[in-house]
Amino acid sequence: MKKIIILGSTGSIGTQAVDVIEAHPQLFTLAAVAAHSNWELAARQIQAHGAAFACMTDEPAAEKLRQEVGERCTVFSGPEGLLKLIDECEADMVLTSLVGAAGIEPTLHAIEKGLDIALANKETLVAAGELVMAEAARRGVRILPVDSEHGAIFQCLEGRSGSEVDKLLITASGGPHFHRPLEEFPSITVEQCLKHPTWNMGGKITIDSATMFNKGLEVIEAHWLFDMPYDRIEVVVQPQSIIHSMIQFTDGSVLAQLGMPDMRLPIQYAFTYPQRYPVRGAKAIDWKTLGSLEFFAPDPEKFPSLPLAYEAGKAGGTMPCVLNGANEVAVYAFLRREISFTRIFDVVRTVMERHTVCRDVSLDAIRSADAWARRCAASLL
Ligand code: NDP
Ligand code: MG
């Protein structure tokens, strides 16, 4: 029986993870839930699954949750409450499905405690990949990818030596604007971005998918997870989101992982690895009606996010952290309708241009680079 902590239990990934846990009561228990402010849903999750620990990073929401659940659940509060929850709750694994750089410290804390990580929160690896991977190696902790592309590569790589692999081919849906003419990009609205063709996700990653910064973040995530140089990671647009990613061997042969777009598959596999179990209600690919699979190269003029991410990744040190912090600020400003769609690219580019890379990637250095990037981005809005 695996005891799982879900950080970000009320979000898109978090609720699907609760569904996976509920479908396999013989395999998992929900040890703790954590979210920012949605205490009503957290209360329902605690009542339904008997989680004994919880955290709301928003203080008033934590107080409401305490009143709702009473003695049966210990409720921590604030960002430091996430660390206390990890300390107090005896668990086997942490799913990091909270959004943004807020995931860095709880992820590192869970690694220090020796807990395996099911990692959805890609921003943590983008901002602090070097530190997180080094800590995980030092503590013998497994980082199991939940992001569907990385879950796919992880499955393709299983049991193979890195020297056989020529490159990683990360697939992208291309998002809702892939076929839109470049001239229309400055006037793209929030509503046009929220209609993602293949996935139903939280607000931040939905905008990241529309700008393709999501794919840029995933390139950096793949670099750290699979220890692969950037010039051997390629992005391939596969609009149907059936091929979740591929690896190409040195002899040119390609191995792909396919499946219907359903995040419960990679979530569950991260929970049960190396075993496989049925996913409740999941649909298999219907080959009779699937039709064709298309492939395109991404357009760097429409999506400068991709060259910026490669640039940040290759610069190394604190630069990916700065790209991530600036992007977070710009995305939320776009969601509040304060800046245009293409301004997101400008803000990230300018913040990166103004940054002097620091080679120190300690937690303090990452914290201060992230804070600097946010201030710099905010000053540009
Ligand atoms: P959502 O916005 O749907 O959910 C975010 C969750 O994190 C909510 O539970 C939210 O709580 C909580 N949260 C937000 N801010 C904080 C904070 N500062 N401290 C603690 N908890 C916080 O996001 P998604 O589920 O879509 O994405 C989560 C992560 O998974 C992201 O890093 C994303 O990139 C990654 N991911 C998501 C995929 C998807 O299909 N959705 C696919 C692959 C990766 P509350 O509800 O109270 O606000
Ligand atoms: Mg993904």
Residues 230-261 have pLDDT tens digits of: 999 999 999 999 999 999 999 999 999 999 99
Mutate which of 12, 37, 57, 225 for ligand 1 pocket (most atoms within 8 A of beta carbon): 12
**CA–CA distance, 241 with 200 (Å, rounded to integer):** 12
| Closest ligand 1 atom, residue 123 Cα | 32
Mean pLDDT value across the chain: 97
The bound ligand whose nearest atom lies closest to the alpha carbon of 119 is 1
The bound ligand whose nearest atom lies closest to the alpha carbon of 199 is 1
- Sorted by where each begins, the domain ranges of the chain are 2-145, 150-315, 316-381
Mean pLDDT over 144-160 rounds to 95
pLDDT at 61 over 90: yes
| Closest ligand 1 atom, residue 7 Cα | 21
Binding residues for 1-deoxy-D-xylulose 5-phosphate: 122, 148-149, 173, 196, 209, 214-215, 218
Q: Which CATH number fits domain 2-145: 3.60.150.10, 3.40.50.720, 3.40.50.1700, 3.40.50.300?
A: 3.40.50.720
Q: Output the CA 261–ligand 2 centroid distance in Å.
A: 10
Whether 122 contacts 148, CB under 8 Å = no
Residues 303-330 have pLDDT tens digits of: 999 999 999 999 999 999 999 999 999 9
pLDDT at 199 over 80: no
Binding residues for Mn(2+): 147, 149, 218
Residues within a 6 A CB radius of ligand 1: 8-14, 35-38, 57, 97-99, 102, 120-123, 147, 199, 201-205, 263
Mutate which of 10, 55, 97 for ligand 1 pocket (most atoms within 8 A of beta carbon): 97
Q: Which fold has domain 316-381?
A: Rna Polymerase Sigma Factor; Chain: A (1.10.1740)
Determine how β-strand 143-145 pairs with β-strand 116-119.
parallel
Residue type, 207: I
| Closest ligand 1 atom, residue 35 Cα | 11
Mean pLDDT over 192-196 rounds to 86
Mean pLDDT over 13-33 rounds to 98
What strands, in cross-sheet order, belong to the sheet with 28-35?
A: 74-77, 53-56, 28-35, 2-7, 93-96, 116-119, 143-145
- Asked whether the whole model's pTM tops 0.80, one would answer yes
Q: Output the CA 71–ligand 1 centroid distance in Å.
A: 27
| Model-level ipTM above the cut of 0.85 | yes
Whether 192 contacts 177, CB under 8 Å = yes
How does residue 160 score in pLDDT terms, banded at 50, 70 and 90?
confident
